[in-house]
Structure 1
Amino acid sequence: MFYLTAVEMLELLRTGQVSAVELLQAHLDRIEEINPRVNAIVTLTAERALAEAGEADRDLARGHWRGPLHGLPVAHKDLTETAGIRTTYGSPLFADNVPLRDSLVVRRMREAGAITVGKTNTPEFGTGSHTVNELFGVTRNPYDLSRSAGGSSGGAAAALAAGMVPLADGSDMGGSLRNPASFCNVVGLRPTPGRVPSPSPTAAWFTLGVPGPMARTVADLALLMSVLSGFDAASPLSIPQSGAVFAEPLETDLTGLRVAWSPDLGELPVDVETARVTADAPAVLAGLGARVEQVRLDLSDAEEAFRIYRAWYYALSYSGMPQDRLGANVRWNVEQGLGLTGADLARAERLRSGLYRRMDRFFGAHDFLLAPVSQVPPFPVGEPYVSEINGEPLPDYLAWMRSAYWISVLHAPAISVPCGFTRDGLPVGVQIVGRPFDDLGVLRLAHAFERATGHGGRRPTFS
């Protein structure tokens, strides 16, 4: 039951073939069996969830359907605030923190009828694409427990892949939704900034970091997007469009669709196995009727722009905390931010603005961009980050994520969808990038790719 899609689970609930308590218990049993080996869920709320599932069943008996997620068990990233449930941000500084209010993402999921089973692991303050922290340790990849689940939404991706929940929320600044989705053979959407509102008392206009949905299928992802998206006045970037658009059919005719294929996003180093697997993606879309053209891109201006904006954000958000109690990656980012000048910020704005204009012209000639999500497959879980690719050394813990964070600068929606497996059986994803605000188009193309390949249906095995 735990590997049914969310859409299938909802149908069973609606028709009375299964109760919310039974569905939840199946997932709790799965968590008890698998989570000790994977370490995806770090705070479990079983008793509270069972009480809520009972209420959901009583509502069903009275003919009251709470919303699109009625009775579905879900988990929330440990960066996402949950009222009455510990939220640590992966940091020892917040080991006992229990928020008084739900974040907007959690509130919308609960109002739609979802039942929270717990919190998913994340690196400290979501820093880095490998999910490990001092509080809870490392999250392991369900397809190979010796490998990383990616990050920073690695706990969410691993929980989905292992059948612990059908839906989860995540967030993405430099690939934190897309990278773990790629590593764990699930789907994750980085929405257009503002599509899923993100109210903030300190960084309300920051567009690199966005919340978004994660699931095992694109249809389930669209279901969650129908709940998460929609205008909220507390967020100045919020897009004034109803989430109902994501409840529209995903089936579409790809005939004549213009897809640009970039195997390396402008000569980035790409692991040979990742390159081999993703090289099959263009033919899949061409076989569905799309016009696929390999292109040479120059996104290099995104490098400095991303690093400056990211450093500024870290200084803004974490410089007031005791630096000796923060992890090395967070401290380094704060230091980079405190060293910025007005000239640095001006340069980042010029670079990003120029890149946006060039990509606007690019999307005049192409409907979508297709490229690898990550430059490497899942790496050994004991390594803090990828230090070299194809023998080329990398300067720091961020550099191996360029194929994801260069896309973050574009203000565009991007999805990671399963693309295949390495010869060692490790998942590899491909990302589909759309024009700014064309989130639905991205979902529809990903849905077609997913159905044509079937890679997402390959589940991990646990001996």
Structure 2
Amino acid sequence: MAKTPIWQWSAVDTAKAIRKGKVSAEEVTKAHLARMKAANPALNAVVVDLGAEALKAAKDADKHQAKGGELGALHGVPVTIKINLDVKGQANSNGVPAFKDNIAPDDSAVTSNLRKAGAIIIGLTNTPEFSMRAFTENPLHGLTRNPWDPAITCGGSSGGAGSSVAAGIGAIAHGNDIGGSLRWPAFCNGIATIKPTQGRIPAFNPTQMKGDERPLMAQFMSSQGPLARSVADVRLGLEVMSQRDPRDPWWVPAPLVGPKLKGPIKVAFAKIPADMKTDKKVISLVRKAADHLADSGYDVQEVELPDINGTWKLWCDLISTEMAVLQEAAMRQYGSADFMTALEGIKLAATILDQEGYMKAIAQRSRVLRNWLMFLEDYPVILTPISVQPTPSYNADIESPERTRELFWNDVRFMSAINVLGLPAAVVPVGLLDDKPIGVQIIGSRYREDVVLDAAAAIEKKAGTFVEQLWARG
């Protein structure tokens, strides 16, 4: 590790080195700020530079350690925060020019938990307008590029988070996910993540106090979470972010490690619906992940999942109905033409429900979730593609509403469907296709992030990590 540049160290190793006095928090922070200065201009991943504040926090962290103070799990470790999360004194713009002066009066729940753990916030990362595109660009901060290839998307809406941590800017990046916004950037950028169970990580922005709360199903389908370069770092980020915050009424004090499952653990390797247009090379890599699990002692069986098409449609109808009723007017008032093109594409795949239809859909969600939970009793791990196609261009969703519909319905159907269930789902890279990363999704039962991450770690142990190949390009 000594010969490896500090910015390439894992979060686990960085925290350990600082704790043992092998390196100071100030040295580590300076290394990451230097990396940000070198790599970010080509990416535009970090759009608010908090370098000055970070250096002060790092010096304070070193003084605290020198006095023998108690050290948090991320003491001195540089992290980034997605710009749709409140950081006291900074604007939560959510990528919208009209909200550029929406200054946070206090830290969000996740920001607070990261600070309590000793993390050093070095910058805020980019997101699309309203965090409602799978591609990261907005009129306020511009386009974020993928470090592997500027012609393809870095994903969204946590695209700035995914791009930055893959490039070595920060050891852990914060993101959030309502339809794939953690998992899609992990896939696109060749890194790992987990969308936790709904209620695992507390969610609250003090800027919410200025307006209405989010719609009910948006609250149930959205999760905060970490993106990182290894499964071990994702696990550490999850542990830190999951600490209690009384401002979130949905937070659940569930243990991070559940009862040990009897082996061999059965894995449902998802059959691909007949109507999905797939890329053979992508599917081949997904099968490789299944082989890695089998070689690691899992009992892998290729089976059909419980109505993936109906589950996806339920997600699309519920989220689109809530947007149409409570959010679309503001989106049309403040959103750009490109954003509206993408929004129309999402709506093209949805049925906007009336009052009775919306209430019935919420009721139906319980039945759908019950079916998945019973399936997970037999198969505690589910392995699926994130996308059945290679990563698209950086602006594919604004080519036409029809193209947006195709992306969501065909390419990433296995991804977005999981949000309506509120189940934990991780992503881990499994290989490169034309020198660009491909990852897979692992789904588990409620509050069994440990089972999901164990399976992700088993794949990672066989496949390795891939950002080192990215960094080797210079």
* TM-score, scaled to structure 2: 0.89
Counterpart of 2:21 in structure 1 is: 16
2:108 partner amino acid: S
Counterpart of 1:228 in structure 2 is: 241
CA contact (8 A) 1:387 1:397 kept: no
* Distance in 1 between residues matched to 2:59 and 2:441, nearest whole Å: 39
How much does 1:395 deviate? 3.5
Counterpart of 1:165 in structure 2 is: 170
CA contact (8 A) 2:345 2:403 kept: no
Q: Equivalent residues in 2 for 1:362-381 (5 A)?
A: 362-381=375-394
Secondary structure of 2:150's counterpart equals strand
Counterpart of 1:321 in structure 2 is: 330
Structure 1 stretches lacking a partner, 5+ long: none
- Aligned-residue sequence identity (percent) comes to 32
Match among 308, 316, 320 for residue 317 of structure 2? 308
Q: How has the CA–CA distance of structure 1 residues 241 and 9 changed in structure 2, closer, same or farther, with 3 Å as cutoff?
A: same
* Distance in 2 between residues matched to 1:42 and 1:309, nearest whole Å: 32
* Distance in 2 between residues matched to 1:360 and 1:447, nearest whole Å: 23
Counterpart of 1:194 in structure 2 is: 199
Secondary structure of 1:75's counterpart equals strand
Secondary structure of 1:363's counterpart equals helix
Counterpart of 2:450 in structure 1 is: 440
Counterpart of 1:127 in structure 2 is: 132
Q: How has the CA–CA distance of structure 1 residues 393 and 55 changed in structure 2, closer, same or farther, with 3 Å as cutoff?
A: closer
Q: How has the CA–CA distance of structure 1 residues 405 and 75 changed in structure 2, closer, same or farther, with 3 Å as cutoff?
A: same
* Distance in 2 between residues matched to 1:210 and 1:216, nearest whole Å: 19
Once the two structures are superposed, what CA deviation does each residue of 1:229-279 show, in whole Å capped at 9, x if it has no partner? 14433323211235xx36x9xxx9995110010153675333333212212
Determine whether 1:35 maps to 2:51. no
Determine whether 1:216 maps to 2:229. yes
1:84 partner amino acid: G
1:233 partner amino acid: P
Consecutive aligned runs of 4 or more in structure 1 exceeding 4 Å deviation = 252-255, 330-339, 385-388
Determine whether 1:237 maps to 2:250. yes
Once the two structures are superposed, what CA deviation does each residue of 1:156-178 show, in whole Å capped at 9, x if it has no partner? 01111000110111101110000
2:148 partner amino acid: Y
Q: How has the CA–CA distance of structure 1 residues 458 and 294 changed in structure 2, closer, same or farther, with 3 Å as cutoff?
A: farther
Secondary structure of 1:380's counterpart equals coil
How much does 1:18 deviate? 1.0
CA contact (8 A) 1:266 1:300 kept: no
How much does 1:354 deviate? 2.6
Determine whether 1:449 maps to 2:459. yes
Q: How has the CA–CA distance of structure 1 residues 181 and 265 changed in structure 2, closer, same or farther, with 3 Å as cutoff?
A: farther
CA contact (8 A) 2:384 2:441 kept: yes
Secondary structure of 1:140's counterpart equals coil
CA contact (8 A) 2:191 2:467 kept: no
Determine whether 1:68 maps to 2:73. yes
Determine whether 1:361 maps to 2:374. yes
Counterpart of 2:3 in structure 1 is: none
How much does 1:88 deviate? 1.3
Determine whether 1:416 maps to 2:421. no
Q: How has the CA–CA distance of structure 1 residues 346 and 86 changed in structure 2, closer, same or farther, with 3 Å as cutoff?
A: closer
Counterpart of 1:97 in structure 2 is: 102
Counterpart of 2:265 in structure 1 is: 257
1:232 partner amino acid: D
Q: How has the CA–CA distance of structure 1 residues 81 and 355 changed in structure 2, closer, same or farther, with 3 Å as cutoff?
A: same
Between 164-173 and 272-281, report the one with greater CA deviation.
272-281
Determine whether 1:281 maps to 2:281. no
Aligned residues: 454
CA contact (8 A) 2:254 2:447 kept: no
Once the two structures are superposed, what CA deviation does each residue of 1:192-215 show, in whole Å capped at 9, x if it has no partner? 000012246613742111111111
1:289 partner amino acid: G
* Distance in 2 between residues matched to 1:204 and 1:325, nearest whole Å: 19
2:301 partner amino acid: E
* Pairwise CA RMSD: 2.7
Once the two structures are superposed, what CA deviation does each residue of 1:291-335 show, in whole Å capped at 9, x if it has no partner? 100012321112331122212432465346372321354664998
Determine whether 1:144 maps to 2:149. yes
* Distance in 1 between residues matched to 2:12 and 2:36, nearest whole Å: 21
CA contact (8 A) 1:171 1:211 kept: yes
* Distance in 2 between residues matched to 1:117 and 1:107, nearest whole Å: 15
Match among 367, 391, 405 for residue 395 of structure 1? 405
Determine whether 1:426 maps to 2:426. no
Once the two structures are superposed, what CA deviation does each residue of 1:372-399 show, in whole Å capped at 9, x if it has no partner? 11232222224335879xxx96636643
* Distance in 2 between residues matched to 1:43 and 1:115, nearest whole Å: 14
Once the two structures are superposed, what CA deviation does each residue of 1:130-187 show, in whole Å capped at 9, x if it has no partner? 1111111211111112211111111101111000110111101110000100111111
How much does 1:351 deviate? 3.7
